[in-house]
């Protein structure tokens, strides 16, 4: 089978924004253009006053939130009775499904906070599924080196036959944290027809064929069609998140933390939240 390296369709710098109760972050994207992915927020920072306000109690329905921490911690509490901390290296894959109400409150470690939150859409058939969590601690994420100078934390998907701990997700995702030593090439197979993007979180380098597209910290890289992704680090090395997922190809009605298929479903969700009937009993 012939391998087709995906061309780079877009390189976009994450934009500063404020969310929650006043959290300063950088948004790599926030639209349904990268189906099934909806949003990627980068909340790395070293000014506690810019992230301590956090994300007080709020609802979600019809989608998933994925929190991956590099530094600091996030305390979470929800309507299912769960409470705990997401610490450095941990992953929380929350499937909101029919509805969950939760809070996420950052706290620094040695004055620093660093992490990412990804939103993933759910298809119509699963939007009202029972809510669930996959809580993955740092020591449960395998670290592999498929080639010299390449280190990969495998959160979801597989690398060199090693499968990540996040499984059973509708989007059939890859979620990789890739670190390249200086002047190292990297290639990873991806499924044809899947949406694929990378987000640079350290150093710099190039993606794509030939001379490639130059990228740096906080650059979002969106790929076109093909069956593999190629990258090469610069003399400073490069670290990036690499994600792929199966598109849904359905209408998206999205307002704030609720993502449905129609405006009427959105109105119903917010009406139920106001009336106190948002949380459903498990099927």
Q: Domains, the chain, ranges and CATH? A: 14-140+268-283 (2.60.120.10), 142-250 (2.60.120.10)
- Which sign, positive or negative, has the C-alpha torsion 240, 244, 249, 254? negative
Whether the bond between 263 and the residue before it is cis, its omega within 30 degrees of 0, is: no
According to DSSP, the residues that pair with 189 across neighbouring strands are 228
Buried b (16+ CB within 10 A) or exposed e, 63-101: bbbbbbbbbbbbebebebeeeeebbebbbbbbbbbbbbb
What are the tens digits of pLDDT across the range 181-240?
Answer: 999 999 999 999 999 999 999 999 999 987 789 999 999 999 999 999 999 999 999 999
pLDDT of residue 51: 86
What are the tens digits of pLDDT across the range 44-79?
Answer: 988 888 888 999 999 999 999 999 999 999 999 988
CA distances from 22 to 18, 51, 73, 157 (A): 6, 7, 17, 34
Is the pLDDT at 152 greater than 90? The verdict is yes
Other Cβ atoms closer than 10 A to 103: 17
Other Cβ atoms closer than 10 A to 141: 20
CA distances from 92 to 8, 74, 200, 238 (A): 29, 10, 21, 25
**Least confident piece of the model among 22-36, 72-86, 244-258:** 72-86
What are the tens digits of pLDDT across the range 101-147?
Answer: 999 999 888 888 899 999 999 999 999 999 999 999 999 999 999 99
- pTM recorded for the entire structure: 0.96
Dihedral through CA 91, CA 13, CA 238, CA 118, nearest 10? 10
Max Cα-Cα span within the chain: 57
Taking only Cα atoms into account, the Rg of the chain, rounded to an integer number of angstroms, comes to 19
pLDDT of residue 1: 57
Look-up: residue for tokens 């597989």? 158
């Amino acid at each position: 089978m012939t391998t087709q390296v995906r061309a780079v369709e877009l390189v976009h710098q994450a934009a500063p924004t404020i969310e929650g109760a006043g959290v300063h972050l950088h948004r790599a994207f926030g639209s349904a253009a990268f189906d099934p992915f909806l949003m990627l927020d980068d909340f790395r920072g070293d000014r506690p006053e810019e992230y301590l306000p956090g994300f007080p109690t709020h609802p979600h329905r019809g989608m998933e939130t994925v929190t991956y921490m590099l530094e600091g911690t996030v305390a979470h509490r929800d309507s299912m009775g769960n409470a705990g901390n997401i610490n450095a290296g941990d992953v929380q894959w929350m499937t909101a499904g029919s509805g969950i109400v939760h809070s996420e409150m950052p706290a620094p470690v040695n004055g620093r906070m660093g992490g990412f939150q990804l939103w993933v859409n759910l298809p119509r058939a699963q939007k009202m599924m029972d809510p669930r969590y996959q809580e993955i601690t740092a020591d449960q994420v395998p670290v592999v080196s498929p080639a010299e100078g390449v280190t990969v934390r495998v959160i979801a998907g597989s690398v060199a036959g090693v499968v990540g701990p996040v499984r059973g997700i509708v989007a059939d995702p890859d979620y990789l944290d890739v670190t390249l030593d200086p002047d190292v090439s990297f290639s990873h197979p991806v499924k044809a027809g899947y949406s694929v993007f990378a987000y640079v979180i350290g150093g710099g380098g190039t993606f794509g064929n030939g001379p490639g597209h130059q990228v740096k910290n906080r650059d979002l890289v969106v790929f076109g069609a093909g069956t593999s992704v190629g990258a090469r680090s610069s003399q400073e090395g490069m670290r990036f998140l690499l994600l792929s997922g199966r598109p849904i190809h359905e209408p998206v009605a999205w307002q704030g933390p609720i993502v449905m298929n129609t405006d009427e479903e959105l109105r119903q969700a917010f009406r139920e939240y106001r009336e106190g009937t948002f949380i459903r009993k498990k099927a």
